[in-house]
Amino acid sequence: MNKFFFTIIGSASVLQMANAQNLQEAITKTENERFDLAGAEFRQLISKEPSKGENYFYYGENFFKNNNPDSALIMYKKGADAQPTNGLNLVGIGKVLLLQGKEADANSNLFKAKTLGVKNANTLIELADAYITAPTKNPAQAITLLDEALKLESKNAEAHILKGDALLELHPTEGGPAIKEYEEAQKLNPKSSKAVVRQGKLWSRSRNYQLALDKYKEAEKIDPTFAPAYIEKAELYHRANQDNNAVESAKKYLELNGNSLYAKGRYAGFLYENKQYADAIKQIEEILQKDTVDAYLYRLLGYAYDEMGNKTDTAAYTKGSKAMAKFFQKTSNKNFNYIADDYKHKGILLSKTGKDSLGVLELQKAIDLDATKNCELYGEIGKIWMKAKKYDKAIATYEKLPTCGKTLTGQNYYDLGRAYFYGPKDFVKADTCFSKLIQVSPPTYPVGYFWRGKTNVQLDPKNDKWLAKPYYEKALEVVKPEERMANKGNVIEACSYLGYYYVKLKDNEKAKPYWTIVKELDPNNEKAKAFFKSLTEGK
């Protein structure tokens, strides 16, 4: 064999090693959520080796993990065409089909992948991942596949990480088996920030926050570019109400991702969770200038506008309602699994923009999905009917709250009391509600006393017993002089009642302070004028 032949063989081996190394570097960037950088590297790899199925599969994974399953599916199909004997891309196709609810087609592809990759640990691992990430998860099947993979490659760290994930899915309250798998993965690959972050997330889940924080910091030391460590740390600081540290960590996450759209989306989500709604909206709207595909962004935008209300944007509710409509439009034909909060925010936003009946329908959907968790939404529906002055419907709605284990709030008692007052004019029940309002309110809150006064006026229309007197007196005792103008209507009503009471007793000295307050608040008040005129005429 001549020297030239050895040179060619040697060069080919070096090239293959370099390509394998480049592939692993691109995969690592995907794991680090540096999707744009990884994508550029995958495109280079495909141009160099267009017949290698792995290049297409991991490029598809880059899209899939970046919440772009449609682009991922295109890449998986190209990979399957380029190398039909490689089962990896069939796994990818099956995974996306599961996400789309096409179970029969998905299972067909996954079965073919298993047949082709029965002796390939990597294919078995990716199959297991598909069962863990599917909408209807199958952790038991994933564990079986991972055990098969570990028989082929006992020191595969990724298999141990996924087995930990599967065990946690199978037994959510038992973290011990999962943590052992994560620790084993770290032993096999001490440079795996991923394994360390998994441990941190598990400790956070069990509320051992200090140990979780230690793990995130450890992951950062292993690989300072591992972005997931920073966003997990940000969320941990957020739970601890350390907002400055939380924002700093989230910004670091954003920087590491080169301000990619995915990173901006996760950052916007963090800002939303941190109740920084205006900043979250700004981030989302910047993303939507470049990417109008991601339905989840419209969901988050709608949520944020609802939570922010009209405090800093007078058109917030209208914008939020449009965002939620866009979200539902983009997901309507995809067998999308909506959550109760989707209907909750949509319903509230519809009601805030004058579409009360439609809003009620959406809120009822949220309750129907989980009546226990969303029982309080009967209060929201009640408020909508109150605003529409449909008092009978408001009463029927508020009375549902106790049936699903919800204790009425002060706001509920206030609204229900007024519904009884204005609707069927059942003043006894109204008085009971305002009595409850007083019980659950701070001692300095006068509204319950004012309304007990109003209802007792109706219960004693001829003032035979002057039933309203103690409630109006208590209300005026609670309201400070400097607060009278803010409670003008109620104060005038209470003072007029008490002033009239003392006039009837022919005790003008005690009546005078009340009529003086009325005159101060309303100089043109005819009853106050008549009282003071009577004093002059009586001299």
User: Which H or E element spans position 83?
Assistant: none
Q: How many CA atoms lie within 13 A of 391 on its CB side?
A: 14
CATH code where residue 503 lies: 1.25.40.10
131 class by beta-carbon count within 10 Å (0-12 exposed, 13-18 middle, 19+ buried)? buried
Is residue 389 situated within a structural domain?
no
Within a 10 A sphere around the Cβ of 181, how many other Cβ atoms?
24
Q: How many CA atoms lie within 13 A of 434 on its CB side?
A: 26
Cα separation of the two ends of the chain: 137
Is residue 207 situated within a structural domain?
no
Q: Output the CA–CA distances (angstroms, integers) from residue 320 to 284, 299, 355, 516, 528, in the order listed.
A: 12, 9, 14, 48, 48
Is residue 353 situated within a structural domain?
no
Task: For residue 113, give the DSSP letter.
Answer: H
User: What backbone phi and psi angles, to 5 degrees, belong to 520?
Assistant: -65, -40
Q: What is the pLDDT of residue 8?
A: 32
Is residue 518 situated within a structural domain?
yes
Q: How many CA atoms lie within 13 A of 10 on its CB side?
A: 6
Angle, alpha carbons 348-301-275 (nearest 5°): 85
Q: What is the pLDDT of residue 19?
A: 46
Q: Output the CA–CA distances (angstroms, integers) from residue 474 to 208, 446, 450, in the order listed.
A: 49, 8, 8
Cβ contact 492:525 at 8 Å: yes
Is residue 120 situated within a structural domain?
no
Q: What is the mean pLDDT of each run of 10 residues along the chain (539 residues)?
A: 35 39 86 87 94 94 88 95 94 92 92 92 94 90 95 95 94 92 95 94 91 94 91 88 84 78 81 87 89 85 92 87 95 83 95 92 92 88 92 94 86 95 97 96 95 97 96 96 95 97 95 96 94 80
Is residue 240 situated within a structural domain?
no
Rounded Cα–Cα distance for residues 313 and 426 (Å):
40
* Radius of gyration from C-alpha coordinates of the chain: 33
Cβ contact 311:320 at 8 Å: no
Is residue 80 situated within a structural domain?
no
Rounded Cα–Cα distance for residues 178 and 197 (Å):
13
- Would you tell me the crossing angle of helices 261-273 and 277-288 to the nearest 10 degrees? 160
Cβ contact 72:60 at 8 Å: yes
Give pTM, 2 decimals: 0.65
- Would you tell me the crossing angle of helices 469-478 and 447-459 to the nearest 10 degrees? 160
Annotate 74-84 with b (16+ C-beta within 10 A) or e (fewer): bbbbbbbebbe
SS3 375: coil
Going by C-alpha positions, the residue among 281, 274, 214, 212 that lies closest to residue 246 is: 274
Q: Output the CA–CA distances (angstroms, integers) from residue 306 to 188, 289, 338, 352, 386, in the order listed.
A: 47, 21, 18, 9, 20
Contacts of 87 (CB under 8 A, 6+ apart): 112, 113, 114, 115, 116, 117, 120, 123
Task: For residue 406, give the DSSP letter.
Answer: P
Rounded Cα–Cα distance for residues 233 and 211 (Å):
12
Q: How many whole angstroms from its chain centre is CA 42?
A: 33
The string of DSSP codes covering 185-254 is HHHH-TT-HHHHHHHHHHHHHTT-HHHHHHHHHHHHHH-TT-HHHHHHHHHHHHHTT-HHHHHHHHHHHH
Q: Which residue pairs from 399-405 have beta carbons closer than 8 angstroms and sit at least 24 positions apart in sequence?
A: 401/375, 401/376, 404/371, 404/372, 404/375, 404/378, 405/372, 405/375
Q: How many CA atoms lie within 13 A of 206 on its CB side?
A: 17
Q: In the chain, how many domains are there?
A: 1
Rounded Cα–Cα distance for residues 510 and 495 (Å):
11
Give me the residue label for tokens 């909506």: 338
Cβ contact 493:458 at 8 Å: no
Going by C-alpha positions, the residue among 142, 141, 140, 84 that lies closest to residue 115 is: 84
Is residue 453 situated within a structural domain?
yes
Rounded Cα–Cα distance for residues 197 and 382 (Å):
45
Going by C-alpha positions, the residue among 509, 521, 417, 525 that lies closest to residue 471 is: 417
Domain range spanning residue 526?
Answer: 442-537
What would the two tokens of residue 318 be? 């209208």
Contacts of 316 (CB under 8 A, 6+ apart): 305, 308, 309, 310
